[in-house]
Amino acid sequence: MKRNIYLNKLTLKEAQKIWYKSWLKYKFTEPLKGELVSTEDSLGRVTAEPVFAKISSPHYQSAAMDGVVVRARDTYETSESSPRKLRVDRDFYFINTGNPIPFGFDAVIKIEDINPVGKIEQREIKKKDIALDLADREEGSIEEIMIFSSAFPGQHIRNIGEDLVANQLIIPINQRIRPVDLGALLAGGVNQLLLRKKPKVAVIPTGYELIQPGEEILPGKIIEYNSKIIKSLISEWGGKVKVYEIIKDAPEDLKKILQKVCQQSDIIVVLAGSSAGSKDFTPEIIRSLGEVLVHGVAIMPGKPTILGIINKTPLIGLPGYPVSAIISAEQFLKPLVFTRLGLTMSKRRKIKAHMAHQVVSRLGDEEFLRVKLGNIGKKMMAYPLPRGAGVITSLVEADGIIRIPSLKEGLNLEEVVNVELWKDLDTIRHNIIITGSHDLILDVLRNELQENFSNYRLVSFNVGSMGGLMALKQNRTHLATAHLLDSESGEYNFPYIKKILPQKELVVVNLAYREQGIMIKKGNPKNIQDLNDLIRKDIEFINRQKGSGTRILLDYLLSKKAINPINIKGYFREEFTHLMVASAVAEGNVDAGLGILSAAEAFHLDFIPVVKERYDMIIPEERYNSLRIQKLLSIVNSKKFKKKVLNLGGYDLSQSGKVIKG
């Protein structure tokens, strides 16, 4: 099949305008009709008509307190100096909260405001117009009481209809039912009500490379999880979803299923096949059955979005990359689901933040930049996350989204931006930003912190040891991690701290001593023995990025052995974490890489020890005693944390948690 092109790539506003016009034309703006639903099953559903109380609540006069029920007139002119004595079964009756008020009585005195005087034998009272609870009265119960203040008519009494009056409006039309609404409905005698039908959404995944979760994973095959995400989003928004079998890039199969589902669905979603590749035939199939309104929207990610109509049924073709699919669904699918339910989408909260890094953006596309947020001093800082359309973890980690306009080339360091929040602001304010050298310890630390202090989150950015020190210098992080070896003194971290941060008062806390070495495939098929073997022509190496402690360590070790880095194949090939280096070795893309033992263990690699190094946390003194840092350090010093780290392999924790002096 020939390669497609975007014939009408539009701005987001233009695409939304065309999309909304089609709603008007085909009456998609009209909410779906209602269906009778049991009140107990109504949670989260939307009312299709106003709901009125069928009975009053309460439907009888009742006591609002435990105590005694009296005639208010019998208590007038009572005071501390002029108390009054009342007799049971004549002047008062004992009454519990919720009991009906006996005829002729009009006030309740709380149990704590009476003083017992005499006692009578317990007996059963059989008056039909009095509901008394004598089961809890002791043997020889109270005969007389003394009161020290007057009661007024209606005191501590719930009148008929105090909460709801019969025929009173409980919930208006187009309101989503909450737990409290459900209670009010039942209290008002409403046992079933008319609710909007859930929009029926057909989700059709496409792609020859897709496999279902649990199937054997082979090279070139991808686990199909987009439909699970989109299904969950639609369900969360209030729709009813049916996910169809994967269409394996057979145009006739897609055409056949579209002809079927357009008769049965309120909305159709096709996943993937919307781009401009030779196998992306979705646009042509839609044209053959109906109308393509939009093919291509100038947003990043999310450009290959299709909007169309088949047999008066709206269709959205979402891109195949997960982040693109979610961003596009938020812009085009979510508003349609809400409209069919008669609801208006509420806007997410926005806050101001300062950019922690410069970001370059492509002109012509509105970019949805995912960011983490951290409160550094008095500033809220925004940290860009990986921008790839296939990096689903960028949305897992994102605290918010920054929209970069299509005619803006990017964002400058410290530029003030609007952030649309995707997480709770109180939780965001408790983020602990740690920047610098990567280690698997940080994952353990993050998990233990959240287990013990659930409102705190550790957010780590793996930019290398030098990057961590620069972040401290620019006040862009709460603390840094580093393992920088000074070639002249043989000391770790302190020479670099004195050079880069001479004026800053810092506290250095050891996190661990760890083993660095050469990671190689299991069984050592290339018979690598030490660093000297890296210059062999049959060895492919992978390095860490410039500024990382591991890169600096490698350069130091190579210089001691008089090895020219240029002679190492792959020296300039870089990765940003120990795990990424280990992954490259495990997959067979390279033969060797320098990294920590725990990363080699994680990928079942062999390991040739080279050096034991010190891995430290560097904390500004003014933050050292802060609550967030002390909570973090309490985890570092806990037995549970240390046990989990030791299980990773390759760590010496004898100095862990201790302040190191330079």
Same domain membership, residue 612 and residue 508: yes
Q: Is residue 642 part of a domain?
A: yes
The DSSP call for residue 275 is S
Class of residue 580 by CB neighbours under 10 A (exposed 0-12, middle 13-18, buried 19+): middle
Same domain membership, residue 358 and residue 292: no
Average pLDDT over residues 558-587: 96
Instruction: Please tell me the predicted confidence (pLDDT) of residue 6.
Output: 52
Same domain membership, residue 309 and residue 272: yes
Instruction: Please tell me the predicted confidence (pLDDT) of residue 586.
Output: 97
Same domain membership, residue 220 and residue 241: yes
- Report pLDDT digits (tens) over 142-193: 889 999 999 999 999 999 999 999 999 999 999 999 999 999 999 999 999 9
- For residue 175 the two structure tokens come to 């309101």
CATH classification of the domain holding 188:
3.90.105.10
Instruction: Please tell me the predicted confidence (pLDDT) of residue 126.
Output: 35
Same domain membership, residue 86 and residue 209: no
Same domain membership, residue 167 and residue 137: no
Percentage of the chain lying above the pLDDT 90 cut = 91
Average pLDDT over residues 605-618: 97
Same domain membership, residue 135 and residue 192: no
The β-bridge relationship of strands 379-384 and 366-376 is antiparallel
Q: Which of 149, 181, 196 is the last residue of a domain?
A: 196
Instruction: Please tell me the predicted confidence (pLDDT) of residue 117.
Output: 85
Residue 527 CB coordination number (10 Å): 10
CATH classification of the domain holding 148:
2.170.190.11
Q: Is residue 247 part of a domain?
A: yes
- Report pLDDT digits (tens) over 104-143: 999 999 999 999 986 544 333 333 333 344 334 443 468 8
Same domain membership, residue 305 and residue 366: no
Q: Are 378 and 363 in contact (CB under 8 A)?
A: no
Dihedral-angle region of residue 588 (phi above 0 means left; psi in -120 to 50 means alpha; beta otherwise): left
Q: Is the pLDDT of residue 91 over 50?
A: yes
Instruction: Please tell me the predicted confidence (pLDDT) of residue 527.
Output: 97
- For residue 476 the two structure tokens come to 């862009």
Same domain membership, residue 624 and residue 491: yes
Q: Is the pLDDT of residue 1 over 60?
A: no
Q: How far apart are CA 640 and CA 26, in angstroms?
A: 61
- Report pLDDT digits (tens) over 419-455: 999 999 999 999 999 999 999 999 999 999 999 999 9
CATH classification of the domain holding 319:
3.40.980.10
Residue indicated by tokens 């891995």: 615
Same domain membership, residue 71 and residue 138: yes
Average pLDDT over residues 618-628: 96
Residue among 631, 625, 637 nearest 449 (CA): 631
Residue indicated by tokens 């891109």: 319
Backbone angles phi, psi at 565, to 5 degrees: -55, -30
Instruction: Please tell me the predicted confidence (pLDDT) of residue 118.
Output: 67
Q: Is residue 474 part of a domain?
A: no
Same domain membership, residue 144 and residue 283: no
Instruction: Please tell me the predicted confidence (pLDDT) of residue 130.
Output: 36
* Residue 273 pLDDT level (bands cut at 50, 70, 90): confident
CATH classification of the domain holding 573:
3.40.190.10
CATH classification of the domain holding 371:
2.40.340.10
Q: What is the domain range of residue 428?
A: 350-461
Q: What is the mean pLDDT of the chain?
A: 93
Same domain membership, residue 600 and residue 636: yes
> In sequence order, what are the residues at sequence separation of 6 or more whose Cβ sits closer than 8 angstroms to the Cβ of residue 545?
464, 551, 574, 575, 576
Number of domains in the chain: 5
Q: Is the pLDDT of residue 471 over 70?
A: yes
Q: Is the pLDDT of residue 567 over 80?
A: yes
Q: How far apart are CA 528 and CA 618, in angstroms?
A: 36
Q: Which of 290, 307, 324 is the last residue of a domain?
A: 324
- Report pLDDT digits (tens) over 504-555: 999 999 999 999 999 999 999 999 999 999 999 999 999 999 999 999 999 9
Q: Are 271 and 320 in contact (CB under 8 A)?
A: yes
Between residues 17 and 130, the one the model is more confident about: 17
Q: Which of 324, 341, 370 is the last residue of a domain?
A: 324
Of 60-69, 134-143, 491-500, the one with minimum mean pLDDT is 134-143
Instruction: Please tell me the predicted confidence (pLDDT) of residue 129.
Output: 36
The DSSP call for residue 401 is E
Q: Is the pLDDT of residue 216 over 70?
A: yes
Instruction: Please tell me the predicted confidence (pLDDT) of residue 250.
Output: 85
